[in-house]
Amino acid sequence: MLYSLAVTVALVLSAPVWGWRMLRQGRYRQGLQQRLGDVPLRLRDFVRDRPVLWLHAVSVGETLAATRLIAELEAALPGYAVVISTTTPTGQQVARERFGVDRVFFYPLDLAFAVRPYLRALQPKLVILMESELWPRMLVECERAGVPVAVVNARVSDRSLPRYMRLRVLWKPLLGKLSLLLAQSDEDARRWRSIGAPAERVLSTGNLKYDIRAANETPLTVLVRKHLPADARVLVCGSTHDGEESLLLDCWKSLSQNRVMILAPRHPERTAAVEHLARERGLTATPLSQWRLAAATTAPGAVLLVDTVGELSSLYALATIAFVGGSLIPHGGQNPLEPASFGVPVVMGPSYANFRGMVDAMVQAHAIRMVAREDLCVSLEQLLTTHDEELGERGRLFAASMTGATDRTVAALVQLLERGAR
């Protein structure tokens, strides 16, 4: 009751801000009716007369991680309708591209009047939440409706753990409403138990993102490869953040010229700002969506800016080396297995708390090159010149050894459903 009141008050107080943003920026208007509990007719038609699994993925990363999981669930549970909700517009875009419009919708606000219409319309046999999306009202309403809830790919970052522990008295009853919690690692499982999750409901099944294997040949990669300069070395910088692009572009300006950079900001809406940074340094930078309209051979030293969503993973296949962003600033890093799975040598900065266990294991296996900010340019130059195939092969073998989380997750979810049916 107090939680719902607090959320309602917060919505009322923030209404002028959101109203202004909706007038100025169309993305804030997307899905507003759905967020307020208006269940789309197409969604009702999709689930009609079928048992339903409702999977929630916040944004792009979670949606990509859920792709193979959804396919495997459909194979294991023929006849079930799997529907997908997202929170962000970019997540919604990727989900619609991958799964079709009919079964994709925006996640409702965490208020009873918004959540209940979806539970009534879908009558899910199971709600599956990706990573750590624990919304109190959703958990309460699912419990009241007799709908089991499972969290998959669950993790607790180094940064989040102290906050969880300080509020353990609040988290423990919420975690008790979960039927199953599948953690990314043994350490994550231990942390969830320490926060208050019932020990017997917590399993370590691995990280679903380790099972992501992008296609190395897509229409885009074929087009880009066709228009690369002869014998050009390619540096792909993935999921970069503000404060990293300037460092990378400074390095790029100093490198010898028979190279092409493909740079993908973590947030595509920052593309114009990154393009400006490149031009300030006298570099030629072109958004990929613009370049592909009239593709021409890229000039040596050129920078292609990835301003689309969901294409970075495949573009890593073009790389001579790859830099993984979020690691030169205090962000915690992004997933280095995506480029490593192609046998591409991977460079990463010192901030990697989001993937600590994996990166530490890669370092032990000599499957990644860790660099400090001051050593970035030298390391990029060295790897572009030598193309360390042994480093790339060790990374590929490491990535292959980390797969299997999807199979374990599906088995646990099917077992949960079977227990509920008995």
Looking at residue 298, the DSSP 8-state letter turns out to be P
Average pLDDT of every residue of the chain: 91
31-206+404-421 has which fold?
Rossmann fold (3.40.50)
In the chain, the amino acid numbered 245 is E
Tokens encoding 217 = 């040949």
State the Rg of the chain over Cα.
Answer: 22
> Looking at the predicted structure, is the pLDDT value of residue 22 above 60?
no
pLDDT at position 295, please? 84
Spatial CA neighbour of 286 closest among 315, 266, 259, 306: 306
CATH architecture of 219-401: 3-Layer(aba) Sandwich (3.40)
Using one digit for the tens of pLDDT, what is the confidence trace for 355-375? 888 999 999 999 999 999 999
**Pairwise CA distance, residues 253 & 243, whole Å:** 16
Using one digit for the tens of pLDDT, what is the confidence trace for 67-92? 999 999 999 999 999 999 999 999 99
Tokens encoding 107 = 């996640």
Kindly list the domain boundaries of the chain, sorted by start residue: 1-29, 31-206+404-421, 219-401
Which letter, b or e, does each residue of 185-223 get, where b requires 16 or more Cβ atoms within 10 Å of its Cβ?
beebbebbbebbbeeebbebbbbbbbbbebeeeeebbee
> Looking at the predicted structure, is the pLDDT value of residue 28 above 90?
no
pLDDT at position 9, please? 43
In the chain, the amino acid numbered 393 is E
Alpha-carbon distance values, 365 to 99, 292, 394 (Å): 36, 38, 7
pLDDT at position 333, please? 95
- E strands present in 76-217: 81-86, 104-106, 126-130, 149-154, 180-183, 202-204
For residues 247-260, average pLDDT: 90
Q: How many residues does the chain have?
A: 422
Can you name the residues that pair with 82 across neighbouring β-strands? 53
pLDDT at position 24, please? 53
The secondary element (H helix, E strand) that includes residue 93 is helix 89-99
Contacts for 71 with CB less than 8 Å, ≥ 6 apart: none
Range of lowest pLDDT (80-84, 238-242, 256-260, 373-377):
256-260
pLDDT at position 5, please? 44
> Looking at the predicted structure, is the pLDDT value of residue 169 above 50?
yes
User: How many other C-beta atoms are found inside a 10 Å radius of the C-beta of residue 242?
Assistant: 15
Is residue 291 within 8 Å of 304, Cβ to Cβ? yes
Written as one string, the DSSP assignment of 218-237 is -HHHHHHHHTSPTT-EEEEE
pLDDT at position 413, please? 98
Residue 11 banded pLDDT, cuts 50, 70, 90: very low
Residue 27 banded pLDDT, cuts 50, 70, 90: low
**Pairwise CA distance, residues 325 & 45, whole Å:** 41
Using one digit for the tens of pLDDT, what is the confidence trace for 107-117? 999 999 999 99
pLDDT at position 421, please? 53
For residues 184-189, average pLDDT: 95
Residue 296 banded pLDDT, cuts 50, 70, 90: confident
> Looking at the predicted structure, is the pLDDT value of residue 143 above 70?
yes
pLDDT at position 293, please? 92
Spatial CA neighbour of 189 closest among 178, 201, 171, 177: 201
> Looking at the predicted structure, is the pLDDT value of residue 10 above 90?
no
User: How many other C-beta atoms are found inside a 10 Å radius of the C-beta of residue 255?
Assistant: 17
**Given the structure tokens 């060790």, which residue do they identify?**
394
Can you name the residues that pair with 261 across neighbouring β-strands? 235, 303
> Looking at the predicted structure, is the pLDDT value of residue 14 above 50?
no
For residues 383-390, average pLDDT: 91
Using one digit for the tens of pLDDT, what is the confidence trace for 302-313? 999 999 988 999
| 3-state SS assignment for residue 195 | helix
Range of lowest pLDDT (19-23, 214-218, 327-331):
19-23
> Looking at the predicted structure, is the pLDDT value of residue 4 above 80?
no
Can you name the residues that pair with 260 across neighbouring β-strands? 234
> Looking at the predicted structure, is the pLDDT value of residue 19 above 70?
no
Q: Is 355 exposed, middle or buried (0-12, 13-18, 19+ CB in 10 A)?
A: buried
Would residue 269 show up in a list of annotated catalytic residues for this protein?
A: no
Domain 31-206+404-421 identical in fold to domain 219-401: yes
> Looking at the predicted structure, is the pLDDT value of residue 215 above 80?
no
pLDDT at position 422, please? 39
pLDDT at position 29, please? 66
What is the percent of the chain with per-residue pLDDT over 90, rounded to a whole number?
Answer: 81
**Given the structure tokens 């990929």, which residue do they identify?**
288
pLDDT at position 420, please? 75
pLDDT at position 159, please? 86
- Rounded to the nearest 10°, the torsion over CA 410, 414, 419, 422 is 180
User: How many other C-beta atoms are found inside a 10 Å radius of the C-beta of residue 324?
Assistant: 28
> Looking at the predicted structure, is the pLDDT value of residue 217 above 80?
yes
